[in-house]
Amino acid sequence: MPVVWKMGKLRQCKMAAKSTKNSSRKEAAKLERELEKLHRKRAVQEKELENCRALFATLPEMIIVLDPKGKVLDVNKNVYKFTGYSKKEVAGKYIFRFPFIPLKSKKILLKKFAARVLGKKVEPYTLTIKDKKGKQYEMKIVASTIRDKQGRLVKDLVVASDITEEQRTTNKLKDSKIYLDTMGDALVVINGRDKRIVAVNKAFTKLGGYSEKETIGKNIFKIFPKREKAKHKKEMRNAARTGKAAKFDAIALTKSGKEIPVSISGTAVLDSKGRPTNFVWVFRDISEKLEAEEMLRESEEKYRHLVENAGEPIFSVKVDGTFISMNKTAANELGGKPSDFIGKTMGDLFPKKIADGQMRTITHAISKGEGIDSESKSVVRGKERWYSAHIEPIKNREGKINFAQLIVHDITPLKKVEEEMAKAFVELKKLDKLKADFMNIAAHELKTPITPIRGYVEIMLNKELPREKETQFLSIVHRNTLRLELLINDVLDISRLESRAMRFDMQNLDIVKIIKTVEQDMKAAANEKKIKIGHKIKGKLPIVKGDKRRISQVLGNLVKNAVKFTKKGGITINAFTKNGNVVVEVKDTGIGISDENIPKLFTKFFQAQTSETREAGGTGLGLAICKGIIEEHGGEVGVKSRQGKGSTFYFSLPRK
């Protein structure tokens, strides 16, 4: 109609132009402009009409245009293609008489059409149709009316979409609702076209606090915050495009508006043309999981803090020995920062022998799959250290061991104590043996003088003896009494020295006088063995501070030992000054001492086990007493000897 009207106006304009040849040029120009404008408007309208026809023909839905009485004015090709009926069988017919619409559906169609004619709003609805072969389809109907300016119905536009597969899926889901309601996870079925909820299970209504009635038909995006809408659309597009299951985390809204973190996994149900008919989304409330993860993160953070600030070295190594983590203490122990050592191996930091040993222990723990404790020696920054380590294999979620964690303790001080204790234990055992030997020696030494004393006294008591015999026996008793006294004094002296109870009468001493006195006292014993004894004094000796009786005891003991173990040759007592101290030597030509026994000479109860020493007897305390007395005076004792070549015992005393 509008086009016809415009064409009539065009003819009028032309006639007016002919009849007004005498009109002014201005009026003619105005008419020409109006004519040009009408031409352009007509071209636009024709283009729009062409686009509408193209769209009408290409839409995948069936489109039917009805007049106000329900008679078909126009249809698109999909009506013929879908139903199998020809244009002749459809065009110009009343829709209520279409052969492909069953009676039940015609009643629904008539009711909805009447409502639209009366101007009522009609929501989309479904009905069933059959094609020419009798195949049945479920259709979704969306209809709208076209009215003129006075509000009168001009045309009725009906759009029908095939939802057969979609409806079939929905029905199947409804049929399996009993099963779905037993699921622990929330499930929702979403229409692939309008994204409205088709079905839910009990777990879904429980999760959101909705009733089933409140959820069916509700747009799925209404149960999510607005900020989540884009995410869900993207996941739906991807699921429909790829055919793969979607899996993502989201926030769901309960009926009260509370936000719940959920994990969603689902899939798109596609029709034969690859279009989504439904989406099946499974919801799982992950609130507790997230809380647990948060607690785990906090726990890991605390653990990391504890590890980082632990006073003991803690580090982790891979199966190949590569360091993957290390706390500050471990790095400080190695002389750097943690970043200096991450990525390096045991072999990079330790000597090969030590690194190989450590890796054997770590590999053993990993192969066993359980923690073990070990001790090992290592070299750190050029220093030898001892460490104890607890090695714990760390498993991932699949139970595979990827690395081991080591908590290390520096036990070097403890090892030193253990070594010292071991040495002390060895020494203690030696002392025990020496004590046992001493007891044997002491028993022998005690028995040796007591036996003759007792024997001769008994003889003298039981028998009259001549004067000279009696004198001889008393001399023997006296000699053995002195020997017994020396033994007792040795035991008392060593006891006093150990308990630091020995008293010293310190005074100025003339060492030369002491040397001469001891030489004179021992001359008889030397003469008895036909050995010479003498002394040599080098230079003028300074006065020293000491206890005269105790220094004489030391020198006498050394000279007595020299006489005891010298069979021929002689003994010389030398005295001289060295480094400001007075040194006294007793040099003999006796049996000498082996290198093995020299370090033990000044030990309590020690006696070299040779035929000569066993024959000479003694308690093994004399040299220990000498050492104790000299050290109490601030001096030193020592010996130089070669076996079979004689010995030189010496002691030094600080000058006054």
Crossing angle of helices 412-462 and 467-498, rounded to 10° = 160
On average, the pLDDT of the chain sits at 82
Per-residue pLDDT tens over the stretch 16-26: 555 555 556 66
Q: Picking from 140-144, 261-265, 347-351, which range would have the lowest pLDDT averaged per residue?
A: 347-351
**Confidence (pTM):** 0.38
What distance, in Å, lies between the first and last C-alpha atoms of the chain? 148
Q: Closest Cα partner for 469 from 456, 479, 478?
A: 456
Instruction: Give DSSP secondary structure letters for 508-559.
Output: EE-HHHHHHHHHHHHHHHHHHTT-EEEEEE-SPPPPEEEEHHHHHHHHHHHH
Spatial separation of the C-alpha atoms in residues 519 and 570, rounded to whole Å? 12
Which residues neighbour 494 within 8 Å (Cβ) at sequence distance 6 or greater?
604, 621, 624, 625, 628
Per-residue pLDDT tens over the stretch 81-119: 888 888 888 888 888 888 888 888 888 888 888 888 888
In this predicted model, which residue has the larger pLDDT, 563 or 422? Answer: 563
CA angle 249, 253, 256 (to 5 degrees): 155
* Proportion of the chain above pLDDT 90, given as a percent: 19
Crossing angle of helices 622-632 and 467-498, rounded to 10° = 50
Long-range Cβ pairs for the range 56-59 (8 Å, 24+): 59/159
Per-residue pLDDT tens over the stretch 356-377: 888 888 888 888 888 888 777 7
**417-493, which class in CATH?**
mainly alpha
Residue 1 pLDDT exceeds 60: no
Residue 219 to residues 223, 230, 238, 301: CA-CA distances in angstroms? 8, 14, 19, 42
Average pLDDT over residues 43-69: 70
SS (H, E, C) 188-231: EEEECCCCEEEEECHHHHHHHCCCHHHHCCCEHHHHCCHHHHHH
CATH architecture of 310-410: 2-Layer Sandwich (3.30)
Spatial separation of the C-alpha atoms in residues 98 and 481, rounded to whole Å? 153
Sign of the dihedral defined by the CA atoms of residues 619, 623, 624, 626, in that order = positive
Sign of the dihedral defined by the CA atoms of residues 639, 644, 645, 646, in that order = positive
| Beta strand pairing call for 314-318 and 401-410 | antiparallel
**Which pLDDT score, from 0 to 100, does residue 183 have?**
66
Residue with tokens 């799925």: 220
Per-residue pLDDT tens over the stretch 518-556: 999 999 889 989 999 999 999 999 999 999 999 999 999
Residue 75 pLDDT exceeds 90: no
**Torsion angle, CA of 40/45/51/53, rounded to 10 degrees?**
-140
Evaluate whether 578 touches 652 at the Cβ level (below 8 Å). Answer: yes
CATH domain 503-653 topology: Heat Shock Protein 90 (3.30.565)
Q: Binning pLDDT at 50, 70 and 90, where does residue 581 land?
A: very high
Residue 388, H or E segment:
strand 383-395
Do 59-162 and 310-410 share a fold?
A: yes
Report domain extents, the chain: 2-54, 59-162, 167-291, 310-410, 417-493, 503-653
For the sheet with 323-326, list strands across it.
Answer: 323-326, 314-318, 401-410, 383-395, 372-380
Q: Binning pLDDT at 50, 70 and 90, where does residue 70 land?
A: confident
CATH architecture of 167-291: 2-Layer Sandwich (3.30)
CATH number for region 59-162 = 3.30.450.20
Which residues neighbour 441 within 8 Å (Cβ) at sequence distance 6 or greater?
605, 607, 617, 618, 619, 620
CA angle 86, 91, 93 (to 5 degrees): 115
**Which pLDDT score, from 0 to 100, does residue 5 have?**
41
